[in-house]
Amino acid sequence: MIKTTLKSEKLFQHKTPCLVLFCSEDKKPAGELKKIDQALNGPVASAFKDKRFEGKPNQTLLLNARGSMKAENVLLVGIGKPKEVTEENLRQAAGTASSLAEASQFKKITFYLPDGELEKALTKDKKLSTGEAARAVAEGSHLALYHFHQYKSVEKGEEPSRIEEIILLSNSKSALAKLKQASERASKIAEGVCLARDLQSHPSNTATPTYLAETAKKIAAKHKIICKVLGEKEMQKLGMGSLLGVAKGSHQPPALIILEYKGGKKNEAPIAIVGKAVTFDTGGISLKPPANMHEMKMDMSGGAVTIGTLQTVASLKLPINVVGLIPSVENMPGGSAIKPGDILTSMSGKTIEVLNTDAEGRLILADALSYAARFKPRAVIDLATLTGAVIMALGNFAAGVLGNDEKLIDNLKASGALTGERLWQLPLWDEHDKETKSNIADLKNIASPGVGAGTTMGAAFLKPFAGDQPWAHLDIAGTSWGAKKPYTPKGASGFGVRLLVNFLEQEAKGGKSKSAKKHGK
């Protein structure tokens, strides 16, 4: 990760190539910004007056200090209306500033976080502490400066300019301890997100099921996580015909990766996270159209996020037990591939009529959800790039959430609101359950033509395999790739790591997040 430095200095005495100040919407500069404007002979007031800069979310104004202060340049970035500033506002603003600073070829960037002053821009029923502000800024900056260029050749002397150091500057020495704690936590979370992004971004000839398993083993050894990988023979003994059916068309062997983090009490029931990891999805015999099929390397995003989450939970040493299950296969149209009309027998004993081999994610999740019951979890959360329908419904702006437990869903939504990884609940009714019934098997993997509700039908298929345990299904097809945020680069987003880490932190404390409490949930 990029080096993070903490400093306590007077604003005009701090030497840096780029000094970032957060500005709320206002009619004219005030406080420290007013002093800077006076030193620079009024360019900020002029920008406010001409409405070239008004402090609106993610607006920027870059000024050359021209020797008026030790900072060489001052970068103003908007955070929105006074008294409505959230962590997400700051996270996005920090991402915006970092990207602009790097594009301007600065090597260092300083964020000014005056102790207590940001608390003036708060809502009446929510407080944003200096530590929370620093954490959001550090997260947004680190995440915005992520790059995946492992496969690109660069001529000597033509290496792209990169930010090498992020400085968090305070006006109070007593605030440094808060900044240190916040920046260390943010770095560990960013590392988990960037790990997930790396796994999502690797081409499928690198990131095979075996590669994911080996990566999980390395992370487990480093972070004292128990790792076990089930191969084809072990899955056959367990009767995982649904998972193995998807893998039949590929030369790549399947893997069920199991990660156990034991940070809680010895006999405390864990929370199970199940992440779909189809390392490449051609659609199988029900072949996908060629346009954008290359992006189907990201169909293992649920597994990538699960691995990133387990690493983060372990590095933060959260006092909770967590199990990560990653069913991983490649879906190919080989000579031995399953065909439309085939019937598979799942680990649960339920038979499945395969009407479309491109609805394969739910087939591998079915057996993984059945296996999760062995850990007697207090809750099960699965993540999957399951349906294109969720993109039609929610775009790239939120993931769909469905399940059988409203309290679990409410807490996940609250964590999503706090981290900016939003969830939107979709219905899961008895009528949907009925549409999963097959005439010649227990279930069919897609609904009959004309039913629609593709995202809900995917969840309805999974519901019987989740059983009676509290369960939530997150369809992250729209948010895993191409999510449009200032701290999310083009391509892989790592969506879900920060949401799940926040959720697990609240669970470790015994329940609700700040956002849930705020809304009385």
Tell me the whole-structure pTM to 2 decimals: 0.95
For helices 301-315 and 497-509, the axis angle rounded to 10 degrees is 40
Contact 372, 323 (CB under 8 A): yes
Name the band, by pLDDT with cuts 50, 70 and 90, for residue 118. Answer: low
Look at residue 179 and tell me if it is in a domain.
no
Q: How many domains does the chain have?
A: 2
Within 25-119, strands assigned E span: 60-64, 73-80, 108-112
One domain, residues 159 and 207:
no
One domain, residues 115 and 229:
no
Strand-pair partners of 61: 76
Contact 190, 142 (CB under 8 A): yes
One domain, residues 434 and 340:
yes
One domain, residues 149 and 46:
yes
- Catalytic site residue 288? yes
State the amino acid at position 436 in one-letter form.
T
Per-residue model confidence (pLDDT) at position 29: 84
Looking at 35, 288, 517, 518, which residue is catalytic? 288
Distances (CA, A) of 239 to 68, 158, 235, 236, 356: 73, 55, 6, 5, 22
Look at residue 186 and tell me if it is in a domain.
no
Tell which of 140, 173, 206 closes a domain: 173
Look at residue 343 and tell me if it is in a domain.
yes
Sign, CA torsion 407/408/410/415: positive
Q: What is the mean pLDDT of residues 462-490?
A: 95
CA–CA–CA angle 344, 346, 348 (5° rounding)? 150
* Residue 424 exposure: Cα atoms within 13 Å on the Cβ side: 13
CATH code for position 37: 3.40.220.10
One domain, residues 448 and 323:
yes
The tokens for 310 are: 């387990």
Per-residue model confidence (pLDDT) at position 169: 96
Look at residue 110 and tell me if it is in a domain.
yes
Question: How many residues are given for the chain?
Answer: 521
- Lowest-confidence range among 220-234, 373-387, 502-516? 502-516
Average pLDDT, the chain: 94
Give the single-character DSSP code of 242. Answer: H
Residue scoring higher pLDDT (453 or 31): 453
One domain, residues 197 and 143:
no
- Catalytic site residue 10? no
Helix, strand, coil percent content, the chain, rounded in steps of 5? 40, 20, 40
Look at residue 41 and tell me if it is in a domain.
yes
Q: Is the pLDDT of residue 209 over 80?
A: yes
Tell which of 173, 203, 237 closes a domain: 173
Q: What is the mean pLDDT of residues 64-71?
A: 94
Strand-pair partners of 170: 8
Distances (CA, A) of 199 to 148, 188, 298, 343, 475: 10, 17, 9, 32, 18
Look at residue 187 and tell me if it is in a domain.
no
Q: Is the pLDDT of residue 127 over 70?
A: no
Per-residue model confidence (pLDDT) at position 514: 43
One domain, residues 374 and 512:
yes
| Domain extent for 411 | 192-518
Q: Is the pLDDT of residue 67 over 70?
A: yes
Looking at 185, 276, 297, 362, which residue is catalytic? 362
One domain, residues 49 and 167:
yes
The tokens for 61 are: 């104004």
Name the band, by pLDDT with cuts 50, 70 and 90, for residue 520. Answer: very low
One domain, residues 255 and 334:
yes
Give the C-alpha separation, 28 to 34, whole Å: 8
Residue with tokens 């900016």: 420
Give the chain's end-to-end CA distance (angstroms, integer).
Answer: 37
Percentage of residues in the chain having pLDDT higher than 90: 88
Look at residue 184 and tell me if it is in a domain.
no
Question: Could you read off the pLDDT of 403-445 as tens digits, one per residue?
Answer: 999 999 999 999 999 999 999 999 999 999 999 999 999 999 9
Look at residue 182 and tell me if it is in a domain.
no
Contact 386, 455 (CB under 8 A): yes
Give the C-alpha separation, 363 to 242, whole Å: 5
One domain, residues 222 and 109:
no
The values of phi and psi at residue 510, to 5°, are: 105, 15
